[in-house]
Amino acid sequence: MAKTLISYYSKSGNTKKMAECIAEGIKPTEGMEVILKKVEDTVIEDMLNSDVIIFGCPTYFGVMTAEVKELMDKSVKYFGKLNGKIGGAFTSSGAIGGGNETTILSIIQGFLIHGMIIQGVQKGNHYGPVSIGAPNEAVKEECVRYGKMLGDLCVKILK
């Protein structure tokens, strides 16, 4: 059984809705267990025990929030052990061009340093799902597709 961890921080619920849609997209993947957790409830062992690790948070000053960065920093304990896992990221921001892409990249940067595998999105938000405020129907669908894409990648890699 492969495992996906979706860990998110959300103060006013926008990122949480995105996290739920990504979980919805990945759940139908055969043989995949999905763990959806607030970042505050996530421990680094959840990362160690997962094949796919997806982080999401609001855009705060163009980067990941302190809560997500704290978890990322703690994960140094398992540096070398997350190598080859699949990563992904998503964010909600207040404005278009408010730093949402740099927020996603700040998360992905950490995952790349761990040696993780990142798949870009050819059609849609290229670095990962982005919402301006609460996700509308189009963003929700994009989140579902993103979950499916990473689930399918995991199946391909674990084959």
Ligand X SMILES: Cc1cc2nc3c(=O)[nH]c(=O)nc-3n(C[C@H](O)[C@H](O)[C@H](O)COP(=O)(O)O)c2cc1C
Provide the binding-site residues for ligand X, judged by CB under 6 A.
Answer: 10-15, 58-62, 92-95, 98-99, 133
Which of residues 29 and 65 has its CB atom nearest to ligand X in the complex?
65
Q: Write down the H helix ranges in the chain.
A: 14-26, 44-48, 66-74, 100-113, 137-158
User: In whole angstroms, how close is the CB of 79 to ligand X at the nearest point?
Assistant: 28
Minimal CB distance residue for ligand X: 98
Which residue type occupies 25? G
User: In whole angstroms, how close is the CB of 16 to ligand X at the nearest point?
Assistant: 6
User: In whole angstroms, how close is the CB of 94 to ligand X at the nearest point?
Assistant: 3
Which residue type occupies 56? G
Q: How far is CA 144 from the centre of its chain?
A: 12
Q: Please, are residues 31 and 155 in contact by the beta-carbon 8 Å criterion? A: yes
Which of residues 98 and 128 has its CB atom nearest to ligand X in the complex?
98
Which of residues 56 and 151 has its CB atom nearest to ligand X in the complex?
56
User: In whole angstroms, how close is the CB of 77 to ligand X at the nearest point?
Assistant: 27
Half-sphere exposure of 52 (CA within 13 A, CB side): 34
